[in-house]
């Protein structure tokens, strides 16, 4: 849909303004002792995986309003992520959710992904829904279920997801459990946790040496009295018991209001247990809105801890992924906005004057410390992100190219107005 030629024509049109913006910023940052080339290279290397389930309109339980041209096969989902990656050079991986995605001809899928310069990121298991013709029901839980037969089915499903992931050369399994209770008395709380640990240990036994097991947590929904893994502490406890390859995954929407997520990041990194991220934004709960649309300062503060942790802890490489989808915007435009917001927060964190910050902290100079952080946050770093994209052969302004190339209407023409993606 978008060719190299389209990108160079677009970049030529945008270059004059971009080059004056980047020069201005370069002077400012050089003056502060930053090497702009290094910052741009760090940004260009940063890759955020796209979830296959975000390529269609998400909807709510009250309705769904698909805009047309959505991908209806795994091949089309790969093509959509390929398109994003072509535009921004930062979305070089797709994350599959099994069985929403059922890879049929894996060799063909691998070849197609390669054509688009894409890798297969973490594979996600699904034991929160009953599939048509399923032999067991997860109505009362999966890995925590009181019935050993149902626990075994859920464990086996996760093992099957690992098997599929291995074929695709994925390197991580992400587990999110809806398991919990909605009324007091429904669960023996200790029993449910114990059974979940045993089931996870059996899955962990099947994990290849070079894989990670990423364990999410969430305080409520779909269960409203207790979730078996409600918070980072419980996830941390479980991954610590499981072993080195198991780590906690932080989904930004899975916290009670006002939780200090950046502090959770700092604690997990200091224990080398931060395994992955699901980026999104929210006002109330797990709203799954576009990254940076509501709390961009929080995003910056999170990246501030991430950058500090990546430099000063032994925490292994982190898997970055978006987990956002909703009802109103074109899903591809929405994802471009999310990736951009992530890179902006990262760029802002890269220009924090850390030496001066450490000095201010040493002197308990609280006002100065705030000034230093906000100086970075208030710098318009968009030219750095655009420069990183251009350096990688992508578009200076991906959304404007997406719109001027009329991608959505071409997709509607190709796939139909009523093509609706599978997923939530």
Instruction: Note whether 115 and 81 are within 8 A (CB).
Output: no
40 or 268: whose CB is closer to Mn ion? Answer: 268
When asked if residue 278 is in the footprint of Mn ion (CB under 5 A), the reply is yes
Q: Which stretch binds Mn ion (CB under 5 A): 84-92, 248-256, 364-372, 404-412?
A: 248-256
CA distances from 318 to 122, 216, 306 (A): 11, 14, 10
How far apart are the C-alpha atoms of 27 and 385, rounded to whole Å?
Answer: 16
When asked if residue 157 is in the footprint of ligand PSV (CB under 6 A), the reply is no
53 or 300: whose CB is closer to ligand PSV? Answer: 53
Residues 6 or more apart whose Cβ sits within 8 Å of residue 131: 99
DSSP string computed for 217-264: --SSSS-SSEESS-SHHHHHHHHHHH-TTEEEEEETTSS-TT--HHHH
When asked if residue 320 is in the footprint of ligand PSV (CB under 6 A), the reply is no
Q: What does 320 bind: Mn ion, ligand PSV, none (CB cut-off 5 to 8 Å by kind)?
A: none
How far apart are the C-alpha atoms of 268 and 229, rounded to whole Å?
Answer: 16
Q: What does 124 bind: ligand PSV, Mn ion, none (CB cut-off 5 to 8 Å by kind)?
A: ligand PSV
Q: Which helix (H) or strand (E) holds 382?
A: helix 382-391
When asked if residue 286 is in the footprint of Mn ion (CB under 5 A), the reply is yes
| Least distance from ligand PSV to the Cβ atom of residue 64, Å | 14
| Least distance from ligand PSV to the Cβ atom of residue 100, Å | 9
When asked if residue 216 is in the footprint of ligand PSV (CB under 6 A), the reply is yes
| Least distance from ligand PSV to the Cβ atom of residue 192, Å | 18
| Least distance from ligand PSV to the Cβ atom of residue 422, Å | 12
For 310, counting Cβ atoms within 10 Å of its Cβ (0-12 exposed, 13-18 middle, 19+ buried), the class is: middle
Q: Which of 26, 101, 262, 286 binds ligand PSV (CB under 6 A)?
A: 286
Cα atoms in the 13 Å half-sphere on the side-chain side of 76 = 19
When asked if residue 251 is in the footprint of Mn ion (CB under 5 A), the reply is yes
Q: What does 281 bind: Mn ion, ligand PSV, none (CB cut-off 5 to 8 Å by kind)?
A: none
How far apart are the C-alpha atoms of 151 and 143, rounded to whole Å?
Answer: 5
Residues 6 or more apart whose Cβ sits within 8 Å of residue 176: 124, 128, 216, 218, 251
When asked if residue 326 is in the footprint of Mn ion (CB under 5 A), the reply is no
101 or 216: whose CB is closer to ligand PSV? Answer: 216
Q: Which of 86, 116, 187, 278 binds ligand PSV (CB under 6 A)?
A: 278
When asked if residue 251 is in the footprint of ligand PSV (CB under 6 A), the reply is yes
Instruction: Note whether 119 and 113 are within 8 A (CB).
Output: yes
Binding site for Mn ion (CB under 5 A): 251, 253, 278, 286, 323
């Amino acid at each position: 849909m978008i060719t190299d030629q389209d990108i160079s024509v677009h970049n030529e049109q945008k270059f004059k303004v971009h080059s004056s913006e980047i020069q201005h910023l370069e002077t400012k940052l050089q003056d502060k002792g930053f090497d702009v080339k290094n910052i741009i290279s760090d940004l260009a290397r940063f890759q955020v995986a796209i979830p296959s389930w975000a390529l269609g309109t998400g909807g709510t339980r009250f309705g769904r309003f698909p805009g047309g041209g959505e991908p209806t096969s795994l091949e089309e989902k790969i093509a959509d992520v390929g398109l994003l990656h072509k535009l921004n050079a930062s979305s070089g991986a797709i994350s599959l959710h099994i069985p929403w995605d059922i890879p049929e001809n894996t060799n063909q899928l691998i070849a197609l992904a390669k054509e688009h310069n894409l890798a297969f990121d973490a594979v996600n298991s699904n034991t929160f829904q009953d599939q048509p013709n399923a032999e067991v029901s997860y109505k009362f839980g999966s890995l925590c279920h009181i019935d050993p037969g149902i626990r075994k089915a859920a464990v086996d499903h996760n093992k099957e997801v690992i098997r599929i992931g291995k074929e695709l050369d994925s390197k991580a399994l992400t587990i999110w459990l809806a398991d919990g209770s909605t009324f007091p008395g429904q669960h023996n709380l200790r029993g449910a946790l114990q059974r979940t640990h045993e089931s996870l240990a059996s899955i962990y036994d099947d994990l290849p040496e070079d894989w990670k097991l990423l364990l999410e947590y969430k305080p409520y929904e779909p269960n409203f009295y207790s979730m078996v893994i409600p918070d980072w502490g419980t996830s941390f406890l479980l991954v610590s018991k499981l072993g080195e390859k198991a780590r906690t995954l932080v989904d930004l929407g899975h916290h009670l209001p006002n939780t200090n997520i950046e502090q959770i990041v700092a604690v997990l990194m200091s224990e080398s247990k931060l395994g992955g991220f699901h980026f999104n934004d929210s006002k109330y709960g797990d709203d799954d809105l576009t990254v940076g649309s509501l709390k961009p300062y929080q995003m910056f503060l999170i990246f501030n801890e991430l950058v500090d942790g990546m430099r000063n802890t032994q925490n292994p490489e982190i898997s970055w992924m978006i987990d956002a989808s909703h009802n109103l915007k074109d899903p591809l435009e929405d994802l471009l906005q999310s990736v951009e917001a992530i890179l902006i927060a990262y760029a802002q964190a890269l220009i924090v004057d850390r030496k001066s910050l450490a000095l201010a902290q040493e002197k308990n100079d609280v006002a100065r410390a705030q000034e230093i952080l906000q100086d970075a946050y208030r710098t318009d770093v968009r030219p750095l992100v655009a420069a990183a994209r251009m350096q990688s052969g992508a578009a200076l302004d991906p959304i404007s190219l997406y719109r001027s190339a009329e991608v959505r209407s071409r997709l509607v023409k190709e796939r139909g107005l009523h093509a609706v993606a599978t997923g939530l």
